Amino acid sequence: MKHVHETACPMDCPDACSLSATVENGRVTALDGDGRNPFTAGFMCSKMKRYPERMYGADRLTHPLIRDGAKGSGLFRIAEWDEALDRVADALRDTKARWGGRAILPYAYNGSNGVFASGMVDEALWRSLEACEPLRTLCAAPASGAASAVYGKMPGTDPSDWVHAKTIVLWGQNPRVSNIHLVPHLHAALDRGARLVVLDPRRTGPAKRADLHVPVWPGSDLALALALIAEADRRGRVARAFLDAHTRNADLLLAEARPWTLERAADIARVPVDLVARLYDAYAGEGPVVTRVGWGLERNRNGDGAMAAILALPAIFGHFGVRGGGYLLSQSGAWRVDTSQLPGVPNPRRHVVNMSQLGSALTADDPKIRALVVYDANPMVSSPNQSAIERGLLRDDLFTVVLEQVMTDTCRFADVILPVPTFLEQHELHRAYGTSILQRITPAVPFVGDVRPNEVVFADVARRLGFEGPAFDPRPEALEARWLSGVRGAGPGDLDRLKTSGTATLSSPNGRPPVAFVDVFPYTDDGRADLHPEAWRRMGADVFTFLPDPGTPEHPFAMLSPATDTTINSILGELQTTLQPCHLAPSDAARLGVVDGDRVEAVNDLGRLEAVARIDPDLRPGILVVPKGIWRRNCPSGFGANAVIPETVTPATGGASYNDARVRLRRLGT
Ligand SMILES: Nc1nc2c(c(=O)[nH]1)N[C@H]1C(S)=C(S)[C@@H](COP(=O)(O)OP(=O)(O)OC[C@H]3O[C@@H](n4cnc5c(=O)[nH]c(N)nc54)[C@H](O)[C@@H]3O)O[C@H]1N2
Ligand SMILES: Nc1nc2c(c(=O)[nH]1)N[C@H]1C(S)=C(S)[C@@H](COP(=O)(O)OP(=O)(O)OC[C@H]3O[C@@H](n4cnc5c(=O)[nH]c(N)nc54)[C@H](O)[C@@H]3O)O[C@H]1N2
Ligand SMILES: [Mo]
């Protein structure tokens, strides 16, 4: 028996492919792209082709497990659900009774899943217990915070409009890897004569095709953006009429930028000044100009200010108001969803824990975390300061439960592991962030093993603790209805299509994607863009003051850990067989006596990692690349990029600063 099941990919990726799953005798045997999502248009990435191997692989979790050996030993015994759930409920009840809700830490990111996987039943439980509130800063905190503060997260320039652009700026993004369905739109524009500008420390694929590649030193984007703004001001190139009509606080931003010259920014970015002058010309020249703002530039101490200043550029230069001009960051705000109200559940003020500082949270005394609930996350691999996290997870007085699909590096430290289904076995609703598409996900096959979705697990735990009511209803139809009732941005009939076809996109009155400042205006209170965000000033966050490079003579190398095309964060990392690489520039390799394939170590005060040296002509001297998401089994000393990544965060949004890792590099041998 063979049939095809229509579904959608919920990975943490802008694209959100619509997929068809081939099902033979109750098993998914293949995944293919299909055409229901016009953006992904029938093709899918190669990494997700391997998802069935993950689903049925040796690491798949199919039964609840209870620790049966020392902490971290990885020894477990199979248990019935009732026993496992009783343990979890007892631990939460006891912790709350003895130490208060502040001793319970839920640790959840988005897990590469849909909207049911977090923020729904789980959130009702945490509010009821007055548990710690995790601040979701592992990714996109500066991006999302700046997009909200400046434009209220209005929709950006739709990729299908890029063909109209004269200049495309890819700023801190590598779409060939992390957003492949953008590439055809990029090529279509280039084929029509558009110019391409890339700002990236690495010579990425698009950088090789670019008319201008600015190989910025990591963390210097704030300086560059402020210098562009100041230069526009000095040369009278500021779009004054637009600023007066549509923005607030532009003069504050101009004043903030004034001390920055192109020379000073070039110095900070460690690039020749003529490259910065050409960057200025690209912004000041003929439009439409569209900036694709990526996430690479936010992952450092200056991330908040860099994001806000770059987002201000289309306003300063007057790039809005035309098809193909403006910016594209995340479209996640397009539907204007607010699901913060949970029916019948109080919303007390809770102790906030920044997820990028888990190591500190688990080793602190006030509050001392006694119960940790990890779901939709793999902190042993993905979160900063890996050694501190390991020390915390090894504490004998910490009870840890992990809800997972596969035996991740984090699971090995659990007291209880609760197995959950993958998107091919489950009901979900997924909202894309590269376009506005919503897609309903239904099970392609029955559960693999004795697994239960997050929402069912949290409802079961809540019931054991005496919490009940509509907010704890885990049925997919109830969750979908509740989520959809929070949508504020849908046009007439937009959501009806979800019911009939399982997908929905935002429509615009003329049937074409909205043009900013023509069809849509900032979703801020007054409909204006706030170029020097008041929200941040009120917090006292000084985001536009450039913080200097954290490198020292002892730790001079800047280590980046970007996405690769074989994993999504750490997902699918279990299928990898190659050892962790560390890419370095040929001149650095020659100086250190390193040849390709040598064993090297990167060290700083936080920790050390070992890797296989890869000489990379696309890197400038002084930069190392160790990809994110590598599992311990592929790390020669058991430590990955996050072993040397600090817990320092950005001033306004608390964003992780992965690319602030500074290390020294040493050859260990062949
Ligand atoms: N295949 C694949 N796709 C993915 C993911 C994945 O893991 N694998 N992850 C998904 C997720 S969760 C996200 S958030 C997105 C991320 O997607 P991207 O925005 O592409 O983010 P990164 O890969 O972190 O970095 C992008 C680029 O920024 C550069 N960069 C690093 N530091 C700086 C800097 O200071 N300034 C500038 N200008 N550039 C810098 C890096 O060299 C890199 O080429 O991709 C999503 N898509
Ligand atoms: N060094 C370094 N580290 C980074 C980054 C970097 O640039 N450099 N960038 C980071 C970025 S962009 C991001 S977004 C974060 C991601 O941080 P995390 O979300 O912690 O990392 P993932 O590897 O995506 O882990 C998600 C886990 O959720 C599980 N999962 C999927 N669906 C479900 C579900 O329905 N229920 C449950 N219970 N679990 C589920 C998956 O199996 C997977 O193990 O990591 C960041 N880590
Ligand atoms: Mo991310």
Pick the CATH number of 141-329 from 3.40.228.10, 3.40.50.970, 3.20.20.80, 3.10.20.340: 3.40.228.10
Ligand 1 site, residue 144, Cβ cutoff 6 A: no
Ligand 2 site, residue 435, Cβ cutoff 6 A: no
User: pLDDT of 321-344, one tens digit each?
Assistant: 999 999 999 999 989 999 999 999
Q: How many CA atoms lie within 13 A of 590 on its CB side?
A: 5
User: Which of ligand 2's atoms lies nearest the C-alpha of 629?
Assistant: 23
Answer yes or no: pTM beyond 0.85: yes
Pick the CATH number of 65-133+339-426+454-470 from 3.40.50.740, 3.40.50.10470, 3.40.250.10, 3.30.200.20: 3.40.50.740
Q: Are 444 and 7 in contact (CB under 8 A)?
A: yes
User: pLDDT of 51-93, one tens digit each?
Assistant: 999 999 999 999 999 999 999 999 999 999 999 999 999 999 9
Q: What is the mean pLDDT of the chain?
A: 97
Ligand 2 site, residue 658, Cβ cutoff 6 A: yes
- pLDDT value for 200: 98
User: pLDDT of 171-211, one tens digit each?
Assistant: 999 999 999 999 999 999 999 999 999 999 999 999 999 99
- pLDDT value for 508: 76
Residues 305-325, mean pLDDT to the nearest whole number: 98
Report whether pLDDT(596) > 80.
Answer: yes
Identify which of 286, 293, 330, 295 has the alpha carbon closest to the alpha carbon of residue 312.
293
Task: Report the residue among 109, 374, 458, 574 best suited for mutation to probe ligand 2: largest number of ligand atoms under 8 A from its CB.
Answer: 109
What are the backbone dihedrals phi and psi of residue 113, each rounded to the nearest 5 degrees, phi first?
Answer: -145, -175
Residue 512 — pLDDT band, cuts 50, 70, 90? confident
Task: Report the residue among 295, 575, 650 best suited for mutation to probe ligand 1: largest number of ligand atoms under 8 A from its CB.
Answer: 295
Residue 509 — pLDDT band, cuts 50, 70, 90? confident
Residues 310-324, mean pLDDT to the nearest whole number: 98
State the ligand closest to the CA atom of 417.
Answer: 2
The span from the CA of 184 to the CA of 206, in Å, is 12
The span from the CA of 291 to the CA of 298, in Å, is 15
Report whether pLDDT(495) > 80.
Answer: yes
What are the backbone dihedrals phi and psi of residue 126, each rounded to the nearest 5 degrees, phi first?
Answer: -65, -40
Describe the chain by its helix, strand, coil percentages, rounded to 5.
35, 20, 45
Residue with tokens 């397009």: 334
Strands (E), 424-500: 428-431, 438-441
What are the residue ranges spanned by the domains of the chain? 65-133+339-426+454-470, 141-329, 557-669
What's at 129, amino acid-wise? L
Ligand 1 site, residue 639, Cβ cutoff 6 A: no
Instruction: Provide the sign of the torsion angle of the four alpha carbons 138, 142, 147, 149, taken in this order.
Output: positive
For the domain spanning 557-669, the CATH number is: 2.40.40.20
Q: Are 569 and 382 in contact (CB under 8 A)?
A: yes
Q: Are 347 and 338 in contact (CB under 8 A)?
A: no
Ligand 2 site, residue 299, Cβ cutoff 6 A: yes
Ligand 2 site, residue 60, Cβ cutoff 6 A: no
